[in-house]
Amino acid sequence: MPKTTDNLKHLAQLGAAARLKQLDRERATILQMFPGLLQSRLVRTSPELALKPRRKPSAAARRAMSEGMRRFWARRKAAMKK
C-alpha cells in the first residue's frame, strides 16, 4: 500500500513540475509581448515586495477616526431631516 502512495506522490510532483515549466514559458511569452510590463506596478518581481506588512493605526488615530465618523454621520443625519 505505501508504494502506491509514494508512486502517486511522485506522479503529482512530476505533474506540478511540468505545470511550472509551462507557466514559466507563458510568463516569458507575455513579457516578450509586453516588455514594459516588468517596469509597471502591475507585476511584482520579488515575493518580499508582495508581503509588505500593513501599517496599523495607533489607538489615538483609531479614536480620532471614530470621532470623525461620528461627526460625519451626525451631520448627514441632520441634513436628511431637513
Range of the domain at 24: 2-40+58-81
pLDDT of residue 35: 80
Distances in whole angstroms, Cα of residue 20 to Cα of each of 25, 51, 52, 80 = 9, 22, 25, 57
pLDDT of residue 82: 77
In a domain, 36, yes or no: yes
Asked if residue 76 has pLDDT above 90, the reply is: yes
In a domain, 10, yes or no: yes
Asked if residue 68 has pLDDT above 90, the reply is: yes
**Is there a contact between 44 and 50 (Cβ–Cβ < 8 Å)?**
yes
In a domain, 50, yes or no: no
In a domain, 33, yes or no: yes
List, for residues 5-48, the tens digit of each pLDDT value: 888 999 999 999 999 999 999 999 998 898 877 765 555 556 65
Number of domains in the chain: 1
| DSSP conformation letters of 35-75 | GGGTTSTT---SHHHHTPPPP---HHHHHHHHHHHHHHHHH
Cell readout for 54 is: 500593513
**Is there a contact between 81 and 74 (Cβ–Cβ < 8 Å)?**
no
Asked if residue 64 has pLDDT above 60, the reply is: yes
In a domain, 47, yes or no: no
Residue listed under C-alpha cell 515586495: 49
In a domain, 16, yes or no: yes
